[in-house]
Amino acid sequence: MARQAATLVTRKRRRVGDFSRLLLVLIGVLLIMAGAEAVFAPWSFFLGGHFNVVKLWQGAGIMHTSSGDYALSFWIAPSPPGRTFDFPYFTGWGSLCTPRGERYRLRVSGGLHEHAGIDLNGKAMHLTLYSRPWNYNLTGNPDDRPHLDLRGAWRNPDLVLEDGGTLSQSFLPDGTLNTGRRNPPPRETVSIVVHETSWFGWSSDCRSAKP
């Protein structure tokens, strides 16, 4: 019995030792990755003009139109660009609340068209926001409306953007989603200041969506 108990203790110690070594390896890998990003993409830690332990930026703003106000909120995080020039690239998710109180979940992607150091202030920014249903991979539905194309620049800690008329192309004058002709002539161009927010500034529905 004593020999069996000693064997069990030895096995447990080996498991603990193996787990500790694995944990140390994982920590080492994470530190190496963080160090590489600090060298090659230092801007990713300074989104909004201040240091972020979590490389993420979130914001919200209002798009004022002749049909009413659209409340937009989203988060973005650095993502591997997979492009020749290796410019800063972002992906994320957001939501758009219409004057009718309808809420649309949107995929977000975009980035800069130039290299950056630590400070992104004044750098031109291009974001595309589009509908991506949860069952997209099953249905393959190509209709991604509402589809917004926002261009502007960082004005730390915020983003100042213009929609190029894409909001009016996605929605009819009464605020309903345009499911008919794709890309009709835009009725108006609107701008938006997306103010940086905390996670607590996010809303779960359109009743409290305004920042």
Nearest residue to 132 via CA among 151, 146, 148, 117: 146
* Weakest mean pLDDT among 94-108, 109-123, 159-173, 184-198: 109-123
Query: 147-155 and 124-131 as β-strands: parallel, antiparallel, unpaired?
Result: antiparallel
Question: What token pair was written down for 59?
Answer: 């914001």
Q: How confident is the model at residue 156, as a pLDDT? A: 95
Q: In whole angstroms, what is the distance from residue 167 CA to residue 172 CA?
A: 9
The phi, psi pair for 111, rounded to 5°, reads 170, -160
Q: Which residues pair with 129 in a beta bridge?
A: 108, 148
Q: How confident is the model at residue 87, as a pLDDT? A: 84
Mean pLDDT, the chain, integer: 80
Residue type, 204: S
pLDDT in tens, 194-208: 999 976 545 555 655
pLDDT in tens, 135-156: 666 655 678 899 999 999 999 9
pLDDT in tens, 58-81: 999 999 999 899 999 999 999 876
